[in-house]
Chain A
């Protein structure tokens, strides 16, 4: 226990790197998923095909292989990526390939009449997308996206394989150093601590999205109290009577 307390500053810096990597990964994954997801339901064949290639390519490669390939392959095309960037690129491409499929599924689950009635009201296809269709997929894609995000946070530990000093690697260093110095391995204790921290992070994320899901559901089924609607009704009626 003392060892962990003594190592806290070091673990904390590792954890910060993990947080940085995770937050950037989730942010970029969300944005690219949205882009590719919209492309995959586009009217234009070319965009759909490009999205399909992107998705199939990155989804069909193991994440670790993808990471190693980006890290060791990048120099071949004249790009030198540090471990952190290589991890970010590979997690984001893998994450957004999977995320865009979730978004595509969300769009496909909306009855096609929704789009038609928006168009029939005179809305342009882009207005229909952003004001009618996109808001409707938020709730159904929240659970699968929580799963993906959780997976991606856990996947950040893979960055240790290419030498990014994130949380897991920091812990490994502490274990190895202590073993060398004292002859006793604190592996159980340290990795147990690591396990708890990852569990807490992902559990918090799950609690947050469950809360968000409940909040949206409630907002969409419980209306403002009736007196408010009566007031509005009363206020609006004279205005419309005046117009007619």
Chain B
């Protein structure tokens, strides 16, 4: 049952970020970020838009490069050389706001592309794995359709399955429900809750406070490129320490 729990690499944390600073040109977007995520832990990052949440998790799989600080995934340091970048990316799955399924490939082909190309998995085996995960996200019957024929919620579930097919140790979610119609948000969140239940290490940027409350071990609040507050969900929602957190929660929870 536990294909997500093959994490037996000693005591290395799933993700370790230390003293991370990042600039876009001369504009600093991340200030001295320190964050450690243990194996099996689920961390939700929230904060106002432009606070650097997405940039932070994009740094973790090197979609953005960083100028200062240490990023380690499963004990492997993320350097500026391409080898360490590829090493880290194969361990880290990422789900984007806009699903980003490949439109010229069927759902099944979307799922087997990376395993067959990057991991050199035989096609038959990759297809079996893909069907396994498509069943997990409850859309195996769509396997031979093209992305355009699926609803947004279905596409996002496929995107999750596609990432899982690489059997990552860590999953990053970058506002996975922000581009969805309200009635489709639930099906994607349910999929993520199920994934969390299996012990997957997850870092999730989201505005879904219900999800954070239900699933997260810790909630990280970011503002203006810095981590302002890290707390357990209960403490975070009932008794926020920082006044910026309070202001943010007032806005999010009241709308």
What is the interface of chain A, defined by CB distance below 8 A to chain B? 111, 113-114, 116-124, 127, 131-132, 135-136, 220-221, 223-224, 226, 228-230, 232-233, 236-237, 239-241, 243-244
Q: Which residues of B contact A236 (CB under 8 A)?
A: 127-128, 130-132, 140
Q: Which of A119, A123, A228, A244 contacts B132 (CB 8 A)?
A: A244
Nearest-Cβ distance from residue B183 to partner chain A, whole angstroms: 24
Nearest-Cβ distance from residue A1 to partner chain B, whole angstroms: 51
Asked whether A243 lies within 8 Å of B162 as measured between CB atoms, the reply is no
Q: Does B232 reach chain A (CB closer than 8 Å)? A: no
Q: State the majority secondary structure of interface residues on A.
A: helix
Select from chain A the residue with minimum beta-carbon distance to B108: A232
The verdict on A120 contacting B63 (CB below 8 Å), with A135-B104, A243-B128, A243-B132 known, is: yes
- Assembly CA distance A132 to B98 (angstroms): 16
The verdict on A240 contacting B166 (CB below 8 Å), with A113-B100, A223-B149, A229-B143 known, is: no
Nearest-Cβ distance from residue B253 to partner chain A, whole angstroms: 30
Nearest-Cβ distance from residue B58 to partner chain A, whole angstroms: 8
Q: Count A-B pairs with CB separation below 8 Å.
A: 109
Q: Which residues of A contact B132 (CB under 8 A)?
A: 236-237, 240-241, 243-244
- Assembly CA distance A127 to B163 (angstroms): 17
Q: Which residues of A contact B33 (CB under 8 A)?
A: none
Q: Which residues of B contact A237 (CB under 8 A)?
A: 131-132, 135, 140
Q: Which residues of B contact A124 (CB under 8 A)?
A: 86
Q: Does B1 reach chain A (CB closer than 8 Å)? A: yes
What are 9 residue pairs bridging A and B, where the CB atoms are less than 8 Å apart in the complex? Answer: A120-B61, A120-B63, A132-B113, A221-B146, A229-B144, A229-B145, A236-B127, A236-B140, A243-B128
